[in-house]
Amino acid sequence: MSAVVLDGRAAAAAIKADLAERVAVLRARGVVPGLGTVLVGDDPGSASYVGGKHRDCAEVGIASIRVELPATATQAEIESEIAQLNADPACTGFIVQLPLPAGIDANRVLEAVDPDKDADGLHPTNLGRLVLRVREEITSPLPCTPRGVIDLLQRHDVPLDGAEVVVLGRGVTVGRPIGLLLTRRHPNATVTLCHTGTKDLDEHLKRADVIVAAAGVAGLVTRENVKPGAAVLDVGVSRVFDEASGKNKLTGDVALDVAEVAGFMAPNPGGVGPMTRALLLTNVVESAERAAGLR
Ligand SMILES: Nc1nc2c(c(=O)[nH]1)N[C@@H](CN(C=O)c1ccc(C(=O)N[C@@H](CCC(=O)O)C(=O)O)cc1)CN2
């Protein structure tokens, strides 16, 4: 078997084309959506992700506001920049790029963001809304990577009703929120949250119809622990030394030969990453539409 590729680049391009039309409608009404980013420190990976977010903004007509602080910035300095973005009418949504330097309390930083401008959907109020009022449509920003994972599965008609879904990783951007969102959208999916400390991980993986691997451990999922026909989405990122180039290389959680047994596979790169970026823009446009009374 050779897996159907869950092509995040193609799906993200379609989402961005739709957003460009919606931004044009907003602009015609005098509303210009604006994404703010707060980047603290000089991590090249984070700088590159933030750069990508602003290129995406330019593509769909969203204005960009960039805040950059040195790695020595204090908690108070970061929170002061957040307060300014909260108050800035040109900024309709913003994010603080994670991870933050050691010594900064990321929870306090996330809590300082106005929940209505929380483009990452990671404010406690917005995460809490995933738990409450389960029979109502969610009208607040949603966490981007979980939303991207579910969108990619739905676009390819991967069955989720009654599916056994194993999420690998307990981080705040993917592992913890994805079960909350998935069971809102597909109440009959059974979601198991596993991690590097899970006993008998292999048994959980072998039972799964869908695996979302976000543990950040290179090659953790191998073809031996994947059920034939399962959907496997590689969201993990780790840097591994590459003998050939003498440099560190970005590597996912899923071994490449898993594609020989899986039914669907979201590769890394080219799978969920581009969806994370596209859904961030979606959150910004949706916030602007809500503020303009269009939703
Ligand atoms: N505030 C946030 N910080 C972080 C998030 C987040 O969602 N919000 N997620 C990650 C980083 N991230 C976005 O910020 C992100 C990571 C990867 C990609 C992506 O498109 N990756 C490409 C490959 C890129 C490469 O080769 O360097 C892909 O998968 O094809 C987008 C966004 C942590 N921080």
- In whole angstroms, what is the distance from residue 74 CA to residue 80 CA? 10
pLDDT digits 0-9 by tens, 60-114: 999 999 999 999 999 999 999 999 999 999 999 999 999 999 999 999 999 999 9
pLDDT of residue 39: 98
Check pocket membership of 268 for ligand 1, CB cut-off 6 A. yes
% of the chain exceeding 70 in pLDDT: 100
pLDDT band (50, 70, 90) for residue 1: low
Catalytic residue among 16, 56, 97, 151: 97
- Count other C-beta atoms under 10 Å from residue 295's C-beta: 11
pLDDT digits 0-9 by tens, 194-225: 999 999 999 999 999 999 999 999 999 999 99
Residue 150 has pLDDT above 90, yes or no: yes
pLDDT of residue 228: 98
- In whole angstroms, what is the distance from residue 5 CA to residue 244 CA? 27
ipTM comes to: 0.97
Residue ranges of domains in the chain, CATH in brackets? 25-127+275-291 (3.40.50.10860), 144-272 (3.40.50.720)
Catalytic residue among 16, 53, 56, 253: 53
- In whole angstroms, what is the distance from residue 289 CA to residue 140 CA? 12
- The whole-chain average pLDDT of the chain stands at 96
pLDDT of residue 217: 95
Catalytic residue among 16, 117, 118, 120: 120
Residue 29 has pLDDT above 90, yes or no: yes
- In whole angstroms, what is the distance from residue 250 CA to residue 91 CA? 32
Helices 144-155 & 272-291, crossing angle to 10 degrees? 110
Q: Is 97 a catalytic residue?
A: yes
- In whole angstroms, what is the distance from residue 196 CA to residue 123 CA? 26
Catalogue the E-assigned strands of 203-295. Answer: 210-213, 231-234, 238-242, 247-251, 264-266
Q: Is 249 a catalytic residue?
A: no
Binding residues for NADP(+): 169-171, 237
Mean pLDDT of 254-263: 96
Which residue, judged by its Cα, is nearest atom 16 of ligand 1? 273
Q: Which two tokens stand for residue 120?
A: 């990452």
Check pocket membership of 251 for ligand 1, CB cut-off 6 A. no
- In whole angstroms, what is the distance from residue 144 CA to residue 283 CA? 8
